[in-house]
Amino acid sequence: MDAEYSREQLILQYSGEVALQFAEAQAKSCADWHAEEPGDISLSTRLILHNTMAGPRIACIGVIGKTDNPLHISLFPPYTDATIEFSFLLNSCLDIFEIRRKQTSIDQDLGLLHAIDERLAAYGWLTTTGVKLLIIVDLFGQDTVSAGKPAGPAVSGLRDSDLKPAFRALQSAYIQLLQNPFYSPDDHAPTPGATPGTASACQPISNSKFIADVQRIGASWAPGTAL
């Protein structure tokens, strides 16, 4: 049996950060362990472990224009069919966003905007162009929902700083979008005099790379991870 296979097989028997350390210790003790670094496991293994971990996960990412027009909304399991509900939740955070932005620090991190209920919490970030980035976090994680397990207490250790890597990655993705010569922010701003709901009111972002970046950030984030 080759070294890489036996190491991966041992690690994939477990999930969670503590189990990951235990699995790595077991694999390290194997005679066929040849990795230069104990933590040198493949990206695919880390993604599988991440997807099986319980704990806070991103439920929704919203990108809101400077005139409060929605530019993009991404939903993540198990909330992918709750577009209307999360659109309402994002909209309900805008007034709080406006109040908090007056006290923003230089890095535009507004932190916790609103604890929606015992499960969901909304966090905000303001870009220098006035675009609002919002992340709604499921504090319990998706496993308890998808598996139908009773929800335990929310993770109380989630800090505002835990969301900074996700917000910085989102801001970087948005900056790259603005640098695209085929993208015009004016095409996504409300037309003066247009009524809400009309095609000319505003157009959501349709750039496939930006949407893929948002999906990647939302799916891979967990407290303590680098994006």
Q: How many angstroms separate the CA atoms of 50 and 221, rounded? A: 9
Domain shared by 213 and 137, yes or no: yes
Domain shared by 191 and 135, yes or no: yes
Average pLDDT value for residue range 179-204: 69
Domain shared by 41 and 90, yes or no: no
> What are the tens digits of pLDDT across the range 195-214?
555 444 568 999 999 999 99
Residue predicted with more confidence, 134 or 191: 134
Q: What is the pLDDT of residue 107?
A: 62
Q: What is the pLDDT of residue 139?
A: 92
Q: Of 65-69, 100-104, 211-215, 218-222, where does mean pLDDT reach its minimum?
A: 100-104
Domain count, the chain: 2
Q: Of 31-40, 59-68, 114-123, 136-145, where does mean pLDDT reach its minimum?
A: 31-40
- Provide the pLDDT confidence category of residue 142 given band limits of 50, 70 and 90: low
Separation of CA 184 from chain center: 25
Residue predicted with more confidence, 50 or 133: 133
Q: What is the pLDDT of residue 191?
A: 64
Structural domain contains residue 104: yes
Q: Tell whether the model's pLDDT for residue 153 goes beyond 90.
A: no
- Provide the pLDDT confidence category of residue 64 given band limits of 50, 70 and 90: very high
Neighbours of 168 (CB within 10 A): 16
Q: Which domain holds residue 123?
A: 57-220
Domain shared by 88 and 19, yes or no: no
Structural domain contains residue 183: yes
Domain shared by 31 and 137, yes or no: no
> What are the tens digits of pLDDT across the range 82-113?
999 999 999 999 988 888 777 766 668 888 99
> What are the tens digits of pLDDT across the range 23-32?
444 444 433 3
Domain shared by 42 and 64, yes or no: no
Looking at 52, 74, 90, the residue that finishes a domain is 52
The rounded mean pLDDT for the chain is 74
Domain shared by 65 and 27, yes or no: no
Structural domain contains residue 196: yes
Structural domain contains residue 225: no
Please check whether residue 104 is in contact with residue 168, taking contact to mean a CB–CB distance below 8 angstroms: no
Q: What is the pLDDT of residue 210?
A: 97
Q: Tell whether the model's pLDDT for residue 10 goes beyond 70.
A: no
Q: Tell whether the model's pLDDT for residue 40 goes beyond 80.
A: no
